Structure 1
């Protein structure tokens, strides 16, 4: 990636991060960190481990596209790890989520494998990342039914959530089979103000979009084992991410239940992703924690404490990811332009 673009991503992320930090109540944060003690460091370190799953998924997808000898390019796993962490940091800091991290990943990977493979691998990773969320939410429904008392209201809500998740899974499976690039660009044409641009873009880049769609479809249609491995890696990341809530709740209650933590993460991420347009899902994640812990019989103060620690952890990893943008060696970036 050219240095001016790299600096642009870095400066934008730092500005947004600074704005988000100013929204914190520093006295409350300090009190929460003192209460969490060494468990806070365990929470921060956990995400260094969880990002390995995300990177492994993307790495598997990139390798699955090596159909010809000339497609085989050495991409160091830990270089991809740094790009992945930085991409998530930009997503956290960007309203709308995918507006920052995904273009950055494509631009970093493009010099190594070309724009079409870079774009299709990033699109496939995003699809797999979101696809695993729907499976996680769907699997959490029977977990709730078997472990928690279920009222009529909750039964109705769980049924609606199940229908929503199954519909989304069907949509993504259809996208995996046929590709999504052309379909998404055509859908953009229905948005007021974007129709002319979308139609012109599809007309000018029809061949490239079709190639991207063929590469997307190849993962599911021609390599189902790799597809299953990629989805499983992301799903395991979702399950292990509940360790974060578990570590935090151990501060408040030594008898914390890990299954409850999975449900808390499931309900919280579902609610937070409904507010995807907000930077770092400000307010949405906190509201999700409050609703999920109260729904499982925990106190509101426990939900506030969990939300506070998670928010600080997110800010720390956002800062780490933004700093990693500037940590690439020259040989990895501008020398390839």
Structure 2
């Protein structure tokens, strides 16, 4: 990627971080007090995501290597792209509008535009698909460990139906590809319609090649497909340790199973508010509702959301800094 584009991504990230710091919901004295209260658990939470991103990178690396040699792309460099990509996703409204173009542009010198695009699209699909797996697993866990009344039964049924419908859409996308479908969807959106039509006409062959590479992984390399998906699901489960560590600051009566449910239900609500950068407000409300539904004090959810927000800001800064470190011209 050229330095000009990299600087544009970096500038956008820095502006977004500054806005977030000035719109924090708590005073800085209260924030420092909560961070001091976290004690040794705060660095453990920050360190945990070093390993979560490692698993994410391994999943992406498996996808890339399945389609051929990586042409000098090392695992450590891909790890750098992963952290920076997630940092841009955190600060971008609509979630995937910042990190994925950045990843494609960084990978293009190593893999070419078509292979870079297909590997990024495949990884994003795996990352989102693992969400459905976590939500469906949480429905089963809740039904096994907690009493289910009529109201909660309806909620769990709606979550199950939603996840199954979205899973069907994704399986169809894996079989036929998603690039052409996404551009076709853009042709029905006001202000994007004409651009999407021109783009599809100009790059018709490239889009079809990208879709064929996406379909190839699902059809002929099923071990790679399920391996990458399993790694993403493992990353989701490992990330639940974050909530367990934070909860241990406040109480020792919260099990890891409860923490999985808290992460699943709070992430579901946060993703419904996908148009907000860092899901501002949605994440905090999701944590409060999730812990309340498990008969845990709502204050625990607010505190957990606050420490999680600090962790996100920490890794956003690291991801933005990595964009300017270790870049070499090919």
TM-score normalised by length of structure 1: 0.96
| Cα distance between partner residues in 1 of 2:2 and 2:252 | 51
| Cα distance between partner residues in 1 of 2:117 and 2:164 | 27
The answer as to 2:22 corresponding to 1:13 is no
Quote the residue 1:57 is aligned against: 59
Show CA shifts across 1:65-103 (max 9, x none): 11xxxx552321011001100000001011111111011
| Cα distance between partner residues in 1 of 2:50 and 2:80 | 11
For the 8 Å contact 1:92–1:318, the answer to whether it is kept is yes
| Cα distance between partner residues in 2 of 1:298 and 1:326 | 43
Structural mapping, 1:162-173, within 5 Å: 162-173=160-171
| Cα distance between partner residues in 1 of 2:164 and 2:200 | 30
| Cα distance between partner residues in 1 of 2:211 and 2:125 | 13
Quote the residue 1:216 is aligned against: 214
For the 8 Å contact 1:248–1:306, the answer to whether it is kept is yes
1:304: Cα distance to partner?
A: 1.0
Show CA shifts across 1:222-268 (max 9, x none): 10000000000000011111100000011111232000000000001
Indicate which of 213, 223, 230 corresponds to 1:225: 223
Quote the residue 1:253 is aligned against: 251
For the 8 Å contact 2:64–2:70, the answer to whether it is kept is no
For the 8 Å contact 1:90–1:318, the answer to whether it is kept is yes
Indicate which of 120, 123, 129 corresponds to 1:122: 120
Show CA shifts across 1:306-333 (max 9, x none): 011001111111111001101123x2xx
SS of structure 2 residue aligned to 1:312? helix
For the 8 Å contact 2:134–2:264, the answer to whether it is kept is yes
Quote the residue 1:272 is aligned against: 270
Give the 3 Å change call, closer, same or farther, for CA 54–72 of structure 1 in structure 2: closer
Quote the residue 1:3 is aligned against: 3
Quote the residue 1:192 is aligned against: 190
SS of structure 2 residue aligned to 1:276? coil
For the 8 Å contact 2:38–2:246, the answer to whether it is kept is yes
For the 8 Å contact 1:135–1:169, the answer to whether it is kept is no
| Cα distance between partner residues in 1 of 2:315 and 2:77 | 17
Moved over 2 A (4+): none
TM-score normalised by length of structure 2: 0.98
The answer as to 2:27 corresponding to 1:33 is no
Q: Which structure is richer in relative contact order (CA contacts within 8 A, separation 6 or more)?
A: 1
1:192: Cα distance to partner?
A: 1.7
More displaced, 262-271 or 23-32? 23-32
Quote the residue 1:292 is aligned against: 290
CA RMSD for the aligned pairs?
0.9
5+ residue gaps in structure 2? none
SS of structure 2 residue aligned to 1:241? helix
Structural mapping, 1:32-181, within 5 Å: 32-66=34-68, 71-181=69-179
1:150: Cα distance to partner?
A: 1.1
